[in-house]
Structure 1
Amino acid sequence: MIYIYNDYGGTHTSSLAAAYHLKQLPQSEMKLTKDVILNVKYFNKLTKQDFGKLIFHGIDDEGNAVYTIGRKRNKYVVPALKEMILLLQEKFQVDEKIVFSNTSPTVPFLMSMGGFFSRGLKIDFIGVPLLVKGAKQCCDNIFRLVENTKRMGSTSSLNENVIILENDMFK
């Protein structure tokens, strides 16, 4: 199975989700510290050149690959990827299940503003503290989102090779 966490930039909530998934963060709804947040791989490190690229984060304890992708505001990226995957699975007789999980519903306003200042305007002294506060606000939701994503991946119908989770319940 392949898990792909996606959001606007691919560098904040999706990076935290990948880190939770790979057990690189505490496996609870406990609040994260500034140092822990800033040491998450790719957190606030990707640039506009990384939009649309699948970023590999690692292999989980069940042998599943974990990726992230920044899709900007384009609502067609994930459906287009799904169609491409289904085409390739049919052509090459591959049965690999792929789960797309949208982390955007977990993004608080502070994180949006922090990302705008830090990634958009390159003003880290304003953006990074906002990102950290935002990450602290939403880390419990991200943890629950990841747990739900893994549960849906393991329990969804075997006939469904590509699963898209919008995760609207985390808004």
Structure 2
Amino acid sequence: MIYIYNDFGGTHTTALAAAYHLKIIPPGGRKLTKKEILAVPYFNKLNSSDMGKFIFHGIDDDGNPVYTVGRGASKHMITAFNNLSLLLHEKYNGNEKIVFSNTSPTVPFAMTIGGLFSRWLKIDFIGVPLLVLGAKQCYRNVIRLVDYTKKSGHATEEKVQVLYNDSFK
């Protein structure tokens, strides 16, 4: 199985989801510290030029690769990824399940504004504290989303599964 977490920029909640999935950061009941959040691989590190690139984060305990991707403002990017995945399965007899999981519903307002200031306007002294605040606000939802993603991946017989995760709003 291949897990691909996605959202607008691919550098905040997706990075947190991949880190929780891979147990880089603990999924326990405590909030992360600023230091732990900023140490998450790729957290607040990607730019608009990285949109659409699949970023490999590691292999989980079950031997499954975990990726993230920023899809930008396009509502059609995941549809295209889904269709491409199905085409590759059909054409090349692929047997690896692929799970696309949208982390956007977990993004709090502070993280949206923090990302705007930090990634787009390059004003880190305003953006980074807001991103840290946002990460602390959404960590429980991100953990639930990762758990749901893993369970859904194991439960489905579909070759490609797209999880929009609207219930995490």
TM-score clears 0.5: yes
- TM-score (structure 2 length as normaliser): 0.98
CA drift of 1:155 comes to: 1.0
Q: Deviations over 1:112-145 (max 9, x none)?
A: 0000000010000000000000000001100110
Could you tell me which residue of structure 1 aligns to residue 168 of structure 2?
170
Offset of residue 73 of structure 1: 1.4
Residues 4-53 of structure 1, C-alpha deviations (whole Å, 9 max, x = no match):
00001000000000000001111224211100000000000001110010
Percent of counterpart pairs with the same letter? 64
Secondary structure, aligned partner of 1:43: coil
**In 2: Cα distance, 1:4 partner to 1:131 partner:** 22
The secondary structure found in structure 1 opposite 2:69 is: strand
SS in 2 for 1:53: coil
Taking the aligned partners of 2:73 and 2:41, their CA distance within structure 1 comes to 23
Contact 1:118 1:124 in 2 (8 A): yes
Alignment partners' CA distance in 1, 2:121 and 2:150 = 35
Structure 1 runs (4+) greater than 6 angstroms displaced? none
Matches within 5 A, 1:2-81: 2-81=2-81
Q: How many residues align?
A: 169
Separation (CA, whole Å) in 2 of partners of 1:29 and 1:167: 22
**Separation in 1, partners of 2:29, 2:77:** 30
Alignment RMSD = 0.7
Contact 1:8-1:70 at 8 Å conserved across structures: yes
Partner secondary structure for residue 105 of structure 1: helix
SS in 1 for 2:128: helix
- Distance in 2, Cα, partners of 1:29 & 1:12: 20
Q: Hey, what's the Cα distance between the residues in 1 that align with 2:29 and 2:16?
A: 13
Instruction: Report the TM-score when normalising by structure 1.
Output: 0.97
| Aligned partner of residue 68 in structure 1, secondary structure | strand
Alignment gaps of 5+ in structure 1:
none
Aligned partner of 1:100: which letter? Answer: F
C-alpha distance in structure 1 between counterparts of 2:95 and 2:89, whole Å:
6
CA distance in 2, matches of 1:102, 1:45: 19
* Structure 2: runs of 5 or more not aligned: none
Is the CA contact 1:29–1:143 (under 8 Å) kept in the aligned structure 2? no
